[in-house]
């Protein structure tokens, strides 16, 4: 099975990881501030998907848009 090509640079991955962790912490400790269950669920989904992108280095949205933040080695 062919793995998807990495399309996120290290800086992009770090930003996604930090943002995801901060959002998860915010939702866990201050979910009453948000109030709306749908919004809380969307924040969880967004955070988890960004953590997956952080870990894998591949973003499906970037792939669909044919974008990459990695420098080409050519």
Task: Please say whether the dihedral angle defined by the alpha carbons of residues 73, 1, 44 and 42, taken in this order, is positive or negative.
Answer: positive
pLDDT at 74: 42
CB 2 within 8 A of CB 51: no
In a domain, 43, yes or no: yes
Q: Shortest CA distance to 52 belongs to which of 13, 1, 10?
A: 13
**33 phi-psi bin (left φ>0, alpha ψ -120 to 50, beta other):** alpha
Tokens of 54: 């952080």
Q: Could you say which residues of the chain have pLDDT below 50?
A: 73-74
In a domain, 69, yes or no: no
25: in domain: yes
pLDDT tens per residue across span 23-42: 999 999 998 988 899 999 99
| Report field, pTM of the whole predicted structure over 0.85 | no
22 within some domain:
yes
Range of the domain at 53: 10-64
In a domain, 1, yes or no: no
Q: How many domains does the chain fold into?
A: 1
């Amino acid at each position: 099975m062919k793995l998807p090509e990495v399309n996120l640079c290290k800086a992009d991955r770090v930003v996604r990881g930090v943002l995801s962790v901060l959002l998860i912490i915010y939702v866990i400790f201050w979910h009453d501030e948000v109030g709306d269950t749908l919004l809380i669920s969307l924040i969880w989904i967004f955070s988890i998907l960004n953590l997956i992108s952080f870990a894998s280095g591949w973003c499906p949205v970037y792939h669909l848009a044919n974008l990459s933040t990695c420098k080409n080695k050519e």
